[in-house]
Amino acid sequence: MRKFEVIIILIVVFGSLIILGIKDADKKSLPELKSSNGLEMQMDDYTTAQERLAVNDQLSDSRHNAITSAIQIVSPAVVSVNVIKTQIVNRHLSPFDNPFFGFFKNVPYKREIKGIGSGVIINDEGYIITNAHVVEGATQIKVILSDNRQFESELIGVDSVHDIAIVKLKDGEDLPVAKLGTSNGLIMGEWAIAVGNPYGFLLKDSKPSVSVGVISALNRDFAPNEDGKIYKKMIQTDAAINPGNSGGPLVNVMGEVIGINSFIFSESGGSIGIGFAIPIDSVKKIADELIQYGKIREIWYGFKVQEITPVIASYLGLSSSDGVLVAQLDNNGPAQKAGLKKGDIITKINKYQIKTTDDAEIAVTDVAVGDKMNLEIVRDSKPMSIVIDAIEYK
């Protein structure tokens, strides 16, 4: 009986050792697991605080990418633009609908309206690009930086047609400056980052807000709106451009400004992924003009055009009503000196195909004093080219 008990005990002991050996072998043979971010994780528990800190550092580093780097580069130069505008309105003072009180009706009075927008610092002298609609009519402009510094600012110049304005900080020092890139060569589908700082005056944290998307489309042209603004070659993005972000930069993954956020398509007023930015190449040209002259110098073209209606096309024997008809020439004007004649049909201006007078108006909006306008025309059924010097109207 004792021998039997000894045998049973030996079996239990050896069986336990075998089981422990199998578990240890399985544990050693388990493959290393990889997290979704590529960091290797062991099944063993981290035995020391130092190991846990090292893994936390690796996890933290893995969260940084091109987008977060771009935001770090540009965000210090993105500012909150806070304005006060004076608006004249009419109010009805009389509580009675009586002719005797008619002289009380429509009494004008002034009221102050506060507005907010965004902007971006473009040089160490404190010049800021923003939208014209943000600052037009402002009697007071205060700019708040991302480090919570506040500056009284002055309006240097406005280009209402292109919706661009230049504001300058008063007594600004040690200013962050954004790098202006180029809108030439943008690719549909590449990353785009919309940055704005609309609430720097309202929130204790004056850091800008960001939204990320892609370049949805390029070279979007719009007919002049009721305010007379013309948006041409616009960059379309699905990065959310929320209220108050107007005037802020649209940035690429290198942290370079490629556009100035301007407006969205929306019925509700909130972003639905259809936003538009003014290309930075156009903005730089406008900004230089505003900083140097305080305005956009008016150009003397020296000619006027009209639509080619079906009646006019039939009278002239034209097969199409595309193009615009030169209806008037200024005597000794730039167009006349270049050889343009009344009755010529303009079909192209600076590579822009012209079908209507709206097309012609949009085509010349980028022309500045000193530029040359390349026109393709038809005269007596023969195509011709004419170059007109853009000179300042005085």
For residues 164-173, give the mean pLDDT.
Answer: 91
pLDDT tens track for 286-309? 999 999 999 999 899 899 999 999
C-alpha span between 123 and 178 (Å, rounded): 8
The CATH fold of domain 73-92+100-169 = Thrombin, subunit H (2.40.10)
Catalytic residue among 80, 153, 159, 163: 163
Q: Which CATH architecture has domain 179-293?
A: Beta Barrel (2.40)
381 is catalytic: no
C-alpha span between 85 and 138 (Å, rounded): 4
Q: Which residues of the chain form CATH 2.40.10.10?
A: 73-92+100-169, 179-293
| pLDDT level of residue 5 (50, 70, 90 thresholds) | low
pLDDT tens track for 20-45? 554 454 444 444 444 444 444 444 45
pLDDT at 93: 52
Q: Which residues of the chain form CATH 2.30.42.10?
A: 299-392
pLDDT at 357 over 70: yes
Catalytic residue among 75, 80, 118, 133: 133
57 is catalytic: no
133 is catalytic: yes
May I ask the CATH class of domain 299-392?
mainly beta
